[in-house]
Amino acid sequence: MVHPNSQRLFALITILFVLSCNPAIQQSSINTERIVSLDGSITEVLCEIGLENNIVGVDITSTYPASMAALPKAGHNRVINVEAVIAMNPTVIFALEKSLKPETEQQLASAGIPVVICRREYDIRGAKDLIKQVADTLGKGDHVETLWKKIDDDLAGVKKYNNSPKVLFIYARGVGTMSVAGKKTALDKMIELAGGVNAASEVEDFKPFTAESIVKENPDVILFFDSGLESLGGAEGLLKVPGIAATNAGKNKKFITMEGQLLTGFTPRVGKAVAELSQLIHE
């Protein structure tokens, strides 16, 4: 049986070391010498505010910038290898709210490592808020306006079109693992920002792909992550999937791909992502 005093001590440790990502935490209270980032969006922000060389480990969603590929990996942000993180000897860990399992947070906190938890919403305001949270928390607030302006400038350059194509995002890891992105997903918001209409707007979150539903939705464009379309054997393999060839997208072979972190990260590159997606779905 765990002694009540031990439980109270563990709870206190957790409170002390799992911190909110906000300006109230002073830079002097966080040692940034060895940073581990457990989310690709946070990793991008850390690099943009001048801390790229301080990052000693990342999760597998941290694919940008390219220098992150050479760093030790801690697993996916939802399935973190705690032992691997501790072995990186971090002075601080960054993660997104609700991405880490509670037991993972507790294990890291019990190891005496500060864990800074940040919030992120899937919209332009959310992208800007994440930048401000991370920068202000680390005393790098002088970078905020510059990065916000970059987003605004990129968005201002997005070409305007007169049509709104129906776009369906399919998450694929081979024919046996396919699902579509409905409302309340990062993909839904990105399609909207790019001037398209989500063909799966009648469902929420991710739902299994079915031939019947895709024929009914009849998208003009089908969108994938780069690796997703590849896992299906490219365009020719996709056309063999039941239902695809009967859609407008299938008839016109309007299949497009984007790099996953760029498309869904809502990072300082979000304006660039909107511009790229807008061009792909309209042209």
In terms of domains, do 64 and 138 share one?
yes
What CATH number has the domain bearing residue 173? 3.40.50.1980
What pLDDT band is residue 109 in, cutting at 50, 70 and 90? confident
Residues 15 and 151 in one domain: yes
The domain boundary residue, chosen from 120, 155, 190? 155
Band (110; pLDDT cuts 50, 70, 90): confident
Cut 0.85: pTM above it: yes
Q: Are 166 and 197 in contact (CB under 8 A)?
A: yes
- Which is higher by pLDDT, 225 or 20? 225
Spatial distance between the Cα atoms of 145 and 129, rounded to a whole number of angstroms: 11
| Percent of the chain residues topping a pLDDT of 90 | 81
Q: How many helices (H) and strands (E) does the chain have?
A: 13, 13
Q: Would residue 2 count as lying in a domain?
A: no
Q: Evaluate whether residue 48 is within a structural domain.
A: yes
Residues 216 and 242 in one domain: yes
Residues 229 and 149 in one domain: no
| Domain-located, residue 45 | yes
Q: Indicate the pairing of strand 55-58 with strand 178-181.
A: unpaired
Same domain, 170 and 215: yes
Q: Which residue type occupies 248?
A: N
Question: Do 122 and 70 share a structural domain?
Answer: yes
Q: Assess if residue 55 is contained within a domain.
A: yes
For 53, the domain range is: 11-155
Co-location of 78 and 123 in the same domain:
yes
pLDDT band at residue 203 using 50, 70 and 90 as cut-offs:
very high
| DSSP-derived 3-state class of residue 220 | coil
Strand, helix or coil at 211?
Answer: helix
Domains contained in the chain, number: 2
Whether residue 18 is contained in a domain is answered as yes
3 in a domain, yes or no? no
pLDDT in tens, 236-274: 999 999 999 999 999 999 999 999 999 999 999 999 999
Residues 115 and 46 in one domain: yes
Cβ atoms < 10 Å from Cβ of 149: 10
Q: Taking a C-beta distance cutoff of 8 angstroms, is the pair 221, 197 a contact?
A: no
